[in-house]
Amino acid sequence: MAEQLDLKSIFDCQDYIQARLEKQEVIGLITLDLSSSGMIKEKHGLEFYKNIFSTISSFLVSFKGKIFRQDDLVLTNDYRDDQLIILLISKPRYKKVLDIYSLKIAAIRIISELKSNIIKYNTEFEKIRNIIDNISYGYALVKYDKNKNIRSIIFDAFSEAYLRQKFDEISEKIISMVSHELRTPLTSIRGFAETILQEDLSKEEIMKFVQIIYNESNRLNNLVNAILDISRIEAAKVHFKRKKFDIKDVIENVLELFYLRIKSSDLTIIREYSDEESYIVFADEEKVEQILVNLIDNAIKYTPFGGEIRVGIKKQDSEVLVSISDTGIGIPDKDKPHIFEKFFRTSVSMSVAQGSGLGLVIVKYLVETLGGRIWFESQLSVGTTFYFTLPVDETR
């Protein structure tokens, strides 16, 4: 193992970086983060963490002349003690200049070598494996600009590397989540279809399996729609057609959609609004229906057999308040700050029902884009109430 490098701040090397940039116009920057550094320090202690960080930096030095060239640099960042920075001064073999693709390949190689080497040489296998698996990386080209000072150039590169790191992390999470969510219904559909094709079944048995296939295909359809919705939202390609309408009518339509599920679960629906009164909002009727479908679906999904769901509407000055309450499993306190985060699912919800972790993200976006607010109250094993408001006219 190579001797520990005397790590120093990247901003202590500004003159050197500037000289190299002026000479060759571009160099590569790779950031390596121990993403769970806080958890590691808390769980295993500061001394253990420092040893891990020292081991990783030492291995990076040993890669000189192998993965990257002898004159390339390994440095630390000014701001975080859990980040190592590699500056790739040399261009790859057989290439005229360093490009973003070859930079990413270099980052992947470095991460791969780190994982295999550090685990191989360490006796505390399980601890180390969990930590090394949480190393994430960013990468960016540091480009010379005679109109900018070197500090600004380095900052720009860090910003780009951070964005690439987050993009890759999100992409990996999406791929992992979609693969997991698709695999279960696809396996069910295939298994029951094969049974129908190969076995001598009664009509009742066939109908039972066909119903399962239908339910699983419907689940697949909902997942694909949720992913498409969130993609359109993030691309700002969701269009709104606002008009005035009575939200009570939309609520009644949605409750009718869920009639069979409500009945089969022996749930009681309590309407906390007047049949004789109108509750006019100025919004997109289709998007409001989507909001209500998500919230009422969750209420049904997480309320045990024989439970109760309350749907309320109230007029409040320039807005209408809608509430949907259940007597379901509730949300643990530790999960409440994350409930509107993409792909997040509470520990208790995962044990009760399947889901993508996208529904509430979509709901929050739609409510707020329509000029409303959304929040919730919840108590574990007692129930949850979601509230949202919508404007009554187009002045908001």
Domain ranges of the chain: 10-144, 173-234, 242-391
List Cβ neighbours of 317 (8 Å cut-off, separation of 6 or more).
none
Return the CATH number of 10-144, one of 3.50.50.60, 3.30.70.270, 2.160.10.10, 3.40.50.150.
Answer: 3.30.70.270
Report the candidate in 118, 42, 44, 122 with the shortest Cα–Cα distance to residue 84: 118
Mean pLDDT for each 10-residue chunk of the chain (396 residues)? 57 85 86 71 74 80 80 72 81 76 84 72 61 79 88 88 80 65 74 84 86 79 71 67 94 92 93 94 92 92 93 94 94 87 66 64 88 93 94 75
In the block, tokens 């002349």 appear at 65
Strand pairing report for 308-316 and 268-272? parallel
Sign, Cα dihedral of 284, 285, 286, 291: positive
What are 331's two structure tokens?
């949300």
pLDDT score recorded for residue 2:
37
Residue 325 half-sphere exposure toward CB, CA atoms < 13 A? 16
Query: How far, in Å, CA of 299 to CA of 309, rounded?
Result: 7
pLDDT score recorded for residue 319:
95
Does an H or E element contain 227, and which? Answer: helix 203-234
Q: What is the CATH number of domain 173-234?
A: 1.10.287.130
Query: How far, in Å, CA of 339 to CA of 361, rounded?
Result: 8
Strand pairing report for 242-246 and 83-88? unpaired
Query: How far, in Å, CA of 221 to CA of 327, rounded?
Result: 28
Report the candidate in 5, 33, 9 with the shortest Cα–Cα distance to residue 111: 33
Strand pairing report for 242-246 and 280-284? antiparallel
CATH topology of domain 242-391: Heat Shock Protein 90 (3.30.565)
Query: How far, in Å, CA of 341 to CA of 332, rounded?
Result: 15
What are 247's two structure tokens?
């939200």
What are 347's two structure tokens?
């520990």
Amino acid at 75: L
Query: How far, in Å, CA of 389 to CA of 314, rounded?
Result: 9
